[in-house]
């Protein structure tokens, strides 16, 4: 049976930006600065990836929904292993990991929100699906 023509995908669009963050731990006298890289690709249009560059360790990657970042900069949001909330000092707290064992990371919400808004210029809300390559999934379903 002939396959219907598939519209070509738009060219991939990528944003990458370093963004310093701080790890807050109850046993440290001061926050621990962590270098991170926040990236976005239109091939995964709903999410940001935050790569935590840890000394002597393999990088750790967390993925955050871009709408969740916008909401979390204003009010507490999320459940499970990814939660965000504004802090009293005006920063943004990312709580990453299971309850009781999560890492609390603090960052500048303005820089992170600005990056999300830049992604919305590349891939406006409501157009995300046109940037996803569905062919591998459809091919696997036909087997």
Domain around 42 = 14-142
**Number of structural domains found in the chain:** 1
Where residue 121 sits, what CATH number does that domain have? 2.30.31.20
Closest to 69 (Cα-Cα) out of 99, 108, 13: 108
Model confidence pLDDT, tens digit, residues 84-131: 999 999 999 999 999 888 999 999 999 999 999 999 999 999 888 888
Whole-number pLDDT of residue 5: 59
Res. 134 pLDDT band, cuts 50 70 90? confident
Model confidence pLDDT, tens digit, residues 14-62: 999 999 999 998 887 899 999 999 999 999 999 999 999 988 889 999 9
Indicate whether 35 belongs to any domain: yes
Indicate whether 9 belongs to any domain: no
């Amino acid at each position: 049976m002939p396959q219907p023509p598939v519209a070509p995908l738009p060219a991939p669009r990528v944003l990458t930006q370093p963004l310093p963050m701080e790890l807050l731990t109850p046993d440290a006298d001061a926050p621990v600065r962590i270098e991170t890289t926040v990236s976005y690709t239109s091939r995964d249009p709903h999410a940001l990836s935050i790569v935590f560059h840890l000394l002597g360790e393999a990088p750790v990657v967390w993925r955050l929904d871009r709408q969740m970042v916008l909401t979390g900069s204003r009010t507490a949001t999320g459940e499970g292993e990814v939660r965000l909330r504004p802090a009293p000092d005006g920063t943004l707290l990312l709580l990453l990991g299971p309850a009781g064992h999560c890492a609390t990371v603090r960052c500048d919400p303005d820089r992170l929100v600005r990056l999300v808004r830049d992604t919305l210029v590349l891939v406006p809300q409501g157009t995300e699906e046109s940037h996803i390559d569905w062919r591998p999934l459809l091919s696997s379903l036909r087997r």
